[in-house]
Chain A
Amino acid sequence: MQQLVETARRALDVQQKAADAGVHDNPKTTSNSLDANESEVCAYFVGLARQRKESCEVALGRLQHDRRATAARIDIEQTKDSFARLLSAIEPNLEKLRSDHATRLTQAKENETRALKHLRWFQQRNGLQHRAAAYPESQLYHFAIVAALALVEWVSLSTFYAEGSDFGLLGGVLIAMTLSLVNLSLAILSGNLLRYVNHRSVRRKMLALGAVAFLTVCFLLVTLGAAHYRVATNDIAQAQPTVSAPSGTQIPPRFSADVDPWRAAKLAWQRLAANPFGFEDVFSWILVVLALIFGIFAAYKGYTVDDAYPGYGELDRELKARRTAYETAKAEYCRLVDQVFDRTLQEQAHLLSEVKSNIEYYQQLISTTEEQRRTFGREAAELQDACNVVIKGYRQANVRTRKSPAPMYFKESVSFESYLVRPPAGVSESEERLSRFYESAMKSFSDIARQNNTTVQNLRTAEIRRRDFYFTKLEREIKEKLAREEWELKG
């Protein structure tokens, strides 16, 4: 207020005007109304009060508009309906899910049961009940180990072949790689076929033994051939004497042979045919022994690529795949069922939160409106007081300078017209009623949400029981169906 007073005094030059009027004994002692200076002061403060009132009216009008808009968004009955609809949609959704997944689940379970039955039949037929199928968990890893072994073989044998290659050690690795691919393939294949020795069928057993013998011979031929090839390239190279830089009359020796790989291969073949084990140097024997070691390991990997009994591992994997497919279908169905309940709860939470935020906003607008009105009342009174303080200061200054007595009205204070200090219209009666109604509706919604949560939880529990029953029933039905089929077949 002090600031208001000081501003007015400075703006209107009150002290000077009071002194000037006092010198001329104005206002006259007999005067009953405010003089021009006092009227100016009053007009100044009235103007300010009018401004405040107008701005307050604008703010209150905006708040009223907001209240109407917010109230339009709040539909208590519709919200109640929405809460009710949330629960009513659960059962149809679950029913739809059941019908959508029934075929897939039934088919998956049937496949699993058939695979299990087939496996049991296979175990019984081949006397394998006493043990489970044993095979590597990952075929990729199994063959990766074989590939790593092959890599080791290429590197170990590369130096043996490097002498016969135009590309030095790189060529040696390439030749070793080619021969090793052939060798390891033969070894893996023979190891794999060796599993058929465990087969109950004598014919298959014999065939497998024959094939393994054939592949072993091929393996030995390739290994010995490779060793002879190395010897041939070496021998051809050694047939060309080592030559130092020529000097004097010494003539470099002539080369009678060529280290052409094909020529070496031909020579190797001739030597292999003549004497397969006729190696004169120890390195060829080392090469053969290394190739044999790698071959034996590769054959072992070929043997253990699957269960020792042919077909057992395959059936076991089939069963596992079917079981996984059924479990996946089941898990997917359960996930979707859970999703129905979770979605319902989420939608309810969203609905509740939305209506709650609208109602809270409405209440906030009501309280803001009242606050605006209270503030205006305080400010209008403050302006009136400030006006009286300035006029009082004027009169005191006037009295000090005038000679004649002061007019009687100097003792009276100034009052603004009532419309200026009266706050504008705030919240209507109907709005206050509506606010109370919203408050009670909010409580009601919270109660409904709590009830709904309980209901959803109960429905979920019931659905879990029903689901368990459904799966049990499904498994029983499929067992019965397969038993019926078997009975019909036997019949």
Chain B
Amino acid sequence: MALSKSDRQGLVILGVIGVLVTALLASVLGVMWARPALGADNCVYQDKRLLKRVPADQTVILVDQSEALTETHRRFALSFIKDYVADDATLPVRSRIALFTFSKLTFESRDSPNLRPSSDLCRPPSHGNELYENNRKITRGFYEHFLIPVSAALEESLTTEVGERSPILETLQLISRSQEIYDGGGRKTLILVSDMLQNTEGFSHYRDRNTYDDFVRSGFARDVQADFRDWNIIVIYLRRYRDRRLQQTAHVDFWQRYFHDSGGKITRWAGVD
């Protein structure tokens, strides 16, 4: 049967609408298909069973719990780290952030040191494209599933104190060789929150012979040798009034030489009184 002019016009209109609807459905399906497999830790996984993460930038926050932080120290560290993790430039979307704490308890176990992250999450996006994403939901997810847990864990770690010993060198060695930090990814950054006063039997800044040369000569340097190649180091240096005699230029020089020798690059040394 031959189609009339109106029929043909109708078919054209229906065809155009059909194409638009198909394009819309295809776009939604495409967006669904293109979304990565995300785990509960916000990280992107290579497989649907969430067994292997997609390589990404990694940031390790290491908090020294050997001595209590003053309110100023705590506030500064919290603010610094929050600014760091909230900034897309310093911590890109989907990059990993792991929070470790260390104290004498870390090394008290008979079998092996107990260094486990107290928070291990990836950074979700804080905003999305309004055309095909729910911006509000994404922002909420950013706070709910990332910023709040990270802040909470950080706050907790900064308020806990397990005194006496400060095994900084041992912990740095553990971190640099830890299986928790996988290779083959992007940038690796270490944020160290500490007074940087090493105090263990092997080496202590509280003793007389506490220069870097003394450390190297002591042979302990070989025992705690770390590998920080490809790492960027940020140190939040907590200055203590009580130990002002020890936290002088020579002390800072000690750590700069230490990180240099272990292959790391100090990108920021933020001191706080």
Contacts and interface: CB of A to CB of B under 8 A. Distances in A.
B5 to A, nearest CB: 8
A255 B132 contact: no
A144 interface: yes
Contact of B11 (A140, A245, A247): A140
Contacts of B28: 167, 170-171, 174
B136 interface: yes
B129 A168 contact: yes
Nearest to B87: A245
A185 interface: no
Contacts of A168: 128-135
Interface in A88-136: 136
Interface stretch (B137-145, B184-192, B256-264): B137-145
Nearest to B13: A144
Contacts of A165: 134
A240 B140 contact: yes
A165 B137 CA distance: 9
A249 B82 CA distance: 9
B10 A141 contact: yes
Contact of B24 (A166, A174, A255): A174
Nearest to B81: A246
Interface stretch (B14-22, B220-228, B235-243): B14-22
B24 A259 contact: no
Contact of B6 (A138, A151, A174): A138
B6 A137 contact: yes
B147 interface: yes
A247 B132 contact: no
A243 B143 contact: yes
Interface in B24-39: 24-25, 27-28, 31-32
A147 B14 contact: yes
B79 interface: yes
Contacts of A240: 136, 140
A145 B140 contact: no
B6 A140 contact: yes
Nearest to A240: B140
Contact of B14 (A137, A143, A164): A143
A248 B71 CA distance: 12
Interface residues of A, number: 41
Contact of A243 (B7, B25, B130, B139): B139
Nearest to B20: A151
A254 interface: yes
A147 B75 contact: no
A208 interface: no
Nearest to A234: B136
Interface residues of B, number: 42
A389 interface: no
B140 to A, nearest CB: 5
Interface string B111-151: 00000000000000000111111111101100110011001
B134 A167 contact: yes
A137 B10 CA distance: 11
A246 B82 contact: yes
Nearest to A244: B86
B9 interface: yes
B148 A254 contact: yes
Please indicate which of the listed interface residues A147, A240, A246 has the most CB atoms of chain B within 10 Å of its own CB. Answer: A246
B161 interface: no
Interface in B186-222: none
Given A173-B24, A247-B79, A138 B4 contact: yes
A144 B86 contact: no
Contact of A170 (B31, B139, B144): B31
B10 A140 contact: yes
Contact of A163 (B21, B82, B134): B134
B78 interface: yes
A144 B151 contact: no
A148 B17 contact: yes
B130 A151 contact: no
Contacts of A166: 133-134, 137
A237 interface: yes
Contacts of B31: 167, 170
Nearest to A321: B1
B133 A248 contact: no
B145 to A, nearest CB: 10
Nearest to A142: B10
Contacts of B9: 138, 141, 144
A167 B133 contact: yes
B57 to A, nearest CB: 20
Given A247-B83, A249-B75, A255-B143, A177 B24 contact: yes
A316 B136 CA distance: 57
Interface string A156-194: 000000111111111101100100000000000000000
Given A167-B31, A254-B144, A254-B148, A138 B86 contact: no
Interface of B: 3-4, 6-7, 9-14, 17, 20-21, 24-25, 27-28, 31-32, 75, 78-79, 82-83, 86, 128-137, 139-140, 143-144, 147-148, 151
Give the 10 A-B residue pairs with the shortest CB-CB distance, closest first: A140-B10, A141-B10, A138-B6, A144-B13, A144-B10, A141-B6, A246-B82, A138-B7, A252-B143, A245-B86
Given A137-B6, A247-B79, 12 more contacts: A138-B10, A144-B12, A151-B17, A163-B134, A168-B132, A168-B133, A177-B21, A246-B147, A249-B75, A252-B147, A252-B148, A253-B143
26 contacts: A140-B11, A140-B14, A151-B20, A163-B136, A164-B134, A165-B134, A167-B28, A167-B133, A168-B129, A168-B135, A170-B27, A170-B131, A171-B134, A237-B136, A240-B140, A243-B139, A243-B143, A245-B83, A245-B86, A246-B147, A246-B151, A247-B82, A249-B79, A252-B148, A255-B140, A259-B140
